[in-house]
C-alpha cells in the first residue's frame, strides 16, 4: 500500500508536499488533481471518501488528509 | 426537470448522492469551491438528480455546460438520457484526462447525443529562478484597470470560441482585474492585447493571451508574455490549455518554453450546436 505522500508525488512529482501546510493555497494541487487524488485514495485504501468531505480543508496538508482517511475507515 | 442550485452544500450532496452508490464512479466536475460559490451566487448553476447520478448544468451566454457525477458508466448513459435539456438546449461538456483513458467516457456521452467538437491540450512550463525578460522593444505591458473590463471581454469574445474555451463572464474579468491577474498593452488608450491569467501559490495558468488583429506584428504578444513571467517570478509551474488545432499558438507557446504534458480536454457538443 502506498503512503499519502507517495500518491501525491505520483500526481505532482515536481512539488515537495512535505514543506507545505496548505496544498491548495500554495498551488500544489488544482481542482483536477483533487479528484485524481480522491480516486487514488479510494482505490489505495479501499474506502469511499464521501462527496460531502471533498472540501478544501480536508486536503490542506498531509495531516488533514490522513485525518480524513482515518475518519472514513482507512488503515494507514 | 432541473432545479436551481442555491448553496455549495447542495453541490456536495449531489456528488455524494452518486458517490454513495458508486461501483465505478465517474465525474467531469472539478471546480474549486470559490468557483462553485460564484456560479451559485450568480444563479448560473442548476442540477438534475437521478437514481444513481447527479447532473449539473451551468448557464453560460446562450448555452449550457454539462457536468456529471455518476455511480458507473452505465448509470451515466442510462440517466443522462433522461435529461431533457440535452435534447432541447445548446449544451457542451468537457472530458479531461489522458487520451488513453477517455475513449470510454467519450463513447458514453456520444450515446446520449454528444459529438466531438474540439480538443484542447494542456501545456506546461517549469518556473525558472530569476526569469530574464524576453526582448520586447519599446512595447510596455501594464495591469488592466477597471475601465478596461468591457473592452477586454469584447476582445476575448472576438478571438476565442465560447463553446470550447470557457470564456469568462464580465464579473470574472472584473475580479481578475482587481486581483492584478490581467495584463494589457494599450495604444491611444485602446486595449491592443491582453494576457489573462490565474495564479494560486506556486502555480499559474494563462487563460487567454490575445492581441487584436490590427496590432499584430508589433511585439504586443511578447511584451505581455515577458511582463507575465516577470510579475510571476515565484511561480514554479506554469500551465495553459490550447486548442489542439491551433498550431500557430502551440508554436508560440513552445517558444516560451511550454510543452504538452499529455493531458487533453475533449470538448463535446450536442446536436443543437452547429
Task: Give the model confidence (pLDDT) of B122-181 as tens digits.
Answer: 999 999 876 665 666 788 999 999 999 999 999 999 999 999 999 999 999 999 999 999
Looking at residue A14, its pLDDT comes to: 87
Instruction: Mark whether B132 and B85 lie in a shared domain.
Output: no
Look-up: residue for cell 440517466? B79
Q: CA-to-CA distance for B206 and B29, rounded, in angstroms?
A: 21
| B27/A50 Cβ within 8 A | no
The pLDDT confidence band at residue B206, using thresholds 50, 70 and 90, is very high
Domain count, chain B: 2
B28 and B85 in a single domain? The answer is yes
- Claim to verify: residue B48 and residue B144 sit in the same structural domain: no
Give chain A's mean pLDDT: 94
Query: Residue B12 domain-assigned?
Result: yes
d(Cα B133, Cα B127) in Å, to the nearest integer?
13
**Domain-embedded: residue A51:** yes
- CA distance, residue A72 to nearest chain B CA (Å): 13
- % of chain B surpassing 70 pLDDT: 97
Instruction: Say yes or no: B76 and B132 in one domain.
Output: no
Over chain B, what is the mean pLDDT?
Answer: 95
Contact A32 B17 (CB under 8 A): no
- What is the pLDDT, as a whole number, of residue B136? 65
H or E segment to which residue B235 belongs: none
| Residue A51 to residue B236, Cβ atoms within 8 A | no
Is the domain of B77 the same as that of B12? yes
- Residue B257 belongs to a domain: no
Range picked from A30-39, B2-11, B29-38 for highest mean pLDDT: B2-11
Residue B106: φ, ψ to 5°: -60, -45
Using the predicted structure, report yes or no on whether residue B242 has a pLDDT greater than 80: yes
The shortest C-alpha distance from A71 to chain B (Å) reads 16
- CATH number of the domain that A50 lies in? 1.10.1200.10
A-chain CB neighbours of B19 within 8 Å are 48-51
Q: What is the pLDDT, as a whole number, of residue A76?
A: 85
* Mean pLDDT, range B60-73, rounded to an integer: 97
Same domain, B52 and B137: no
Do B30 and A35 touch, CB atoms closer than 8 A?
Answer: yes
Distance CA A41, CA A76 (A): 11
Is residue B252 over pLDDT 90?
A: yes
| Structure-block grid coordinates of residue B70 | 455518476
Q: Is residue A43 part of a domain?
A: yes
Q: Domain total for chain A?
A: 1
- Contact criterion met (CB below 8 Å) for B255 and B228: no
Give the gap in angstroms from C-alpha A76 to the nearest C-alpha of chain B. 22
Q: Is residue A10 part of a domain?
A: yes
C-beta of residue B66 within 8 angstroms of C-beta of residue B92: yes
Q: How far apart, in whole angstroms, are the C-alpha atoms of residue B43 and residue B59?
A: 8
**Residue B36: its H or E element:** helix B33-41
pLDDT at B131: 66
List the domain range (segments joined by +) for residue A27: 4-71
Structural domain contains residue B265: no
Mean pLDDT to the nearest integer, B212-239: 95
Give the Cα separation of B274 and B258 in Å (integer): 32
We report the CATH number of the domain holding residue B195 as 3.40.630.30
Is B32 an 8 Å CB contact of chain A?
yes
Q: How far apart are CA B165 and CA B148, in angstroms?
A: 21
pLDDT at B31: 86
A66 lies in some domain: yes
| B53 falls within a domain | yes
B85 and B133 assigned to the same domain: no
Q: Report pLDDT for B134.
A: 62
Q: Which of A36, A45, A46, A42 is nearest to A11 (CA)?
A: A36
Residue A39 belongs to a domain: yes
What domain range is B162 assigned to?
128-235
Q: What is the reported pLDDT for B14?
A: 96
User: Who wins on pLDDT, B131 or B1?
Assistant: B1
Q: What is the mean pLDDT of residues B56-78?
A: 97
Amino acid at each position: 500500500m502506498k503512503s499519502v505522500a507517495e500518491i501525491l508525488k505520483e500526481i505532482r512529482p515536481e512539488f515537495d508536499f512535505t514543506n507545505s501546510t496548505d496544498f491548495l493555497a500554495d498551488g500544489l494541487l488544482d481542482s483536477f488533481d483533487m479528484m485524481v487524488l480522491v480516486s487514488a485514495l479510494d482505490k489505495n485504501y479501499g474506502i469511499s471518501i464521501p462527496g460531502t468531505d471533498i472540501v478544501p480543508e480536508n486536503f490542506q496538508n498531509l495531516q488533514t488528509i490522513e485525518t480524513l482517511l482515518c475518519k472514513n475507515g482507512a488503515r494507514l | 426537470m432541473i432545479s436551481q442550485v442555491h448553496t455549495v452544500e447542495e453541490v456536495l450532496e449531489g456528488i455524494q448522492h452518486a458517490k454513495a452508490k458508486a461501483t465505478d464512479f465517474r465525474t467531469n466536475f472539478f471546480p474549486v469551491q470559490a468557483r462553485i460559490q460564484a456560479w451559485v451566487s450568480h444563479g448560473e448553476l442548476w442540477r438534475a438528480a437521478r437514481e444513481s447520478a447527479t447532473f449539473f448544468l451551468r448557464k453560460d451566454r446562450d448555452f449550457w455546460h454539462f457536468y456529471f457525477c455518476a455511480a458507473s458508466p452505465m448509470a451515466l448513459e442510462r440517466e443522462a438520457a433522461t435529461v431533457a435539456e440535452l435534447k432541447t438546449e445548446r449544451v457542451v461538456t468537457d472530458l479531461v484526462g489522458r487520451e488513453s483513458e477517455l475513449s470510454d467516457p467519450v463513447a458514453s456521452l456520444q450515446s446520449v447525443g454528444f459529438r466531438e467538437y474540439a480538443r484542447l491540450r494542456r501545456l506546461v512550463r517549469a518556473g525558472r529562478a530569476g526569469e530574464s525578460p524576453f526582448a520586447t522593444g519599446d512595447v510596455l505591458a501594464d495591469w488592466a484597470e477597471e475601465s478596461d473590463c468591457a473592452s477586454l471581454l469584447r476582445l476575448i469574445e472576438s478571438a476565442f470560441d465560447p463553446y470550447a474555451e470557457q470564456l469568462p463572464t464580465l464579473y470574472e474579468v472584473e475580479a481578475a482585474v482587481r486581483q492584478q491577474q490581467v495584463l494589457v498593452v494599450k495604444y491611444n488608450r485602446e486595449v491592443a492585447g491582453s494576457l489573462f491569467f490565474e495564479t494560486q501559490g506556486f502555480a499559474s495558468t494563462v487563460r487567454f493571451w490575445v492581441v487584436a488583429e490590427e496590432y499584430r506584428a508589433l511585439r504586443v504578444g511578447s511584451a505581455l508574455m515577458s511582463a507575465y513571467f516577470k510579475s510571476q517570478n515565484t511561480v514554479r509551474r506554469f500551465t495553459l490549455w490550447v486548442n489542439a488545432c491551433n498550431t500557430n499558438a502551440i508554436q508560440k507557446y513552445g517558444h516560451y518554453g511550454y510543452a504538452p504534458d499529455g493531458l487533453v480536454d475533449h470538448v463535446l457538443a450536442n446536436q443543437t450546436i452547429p
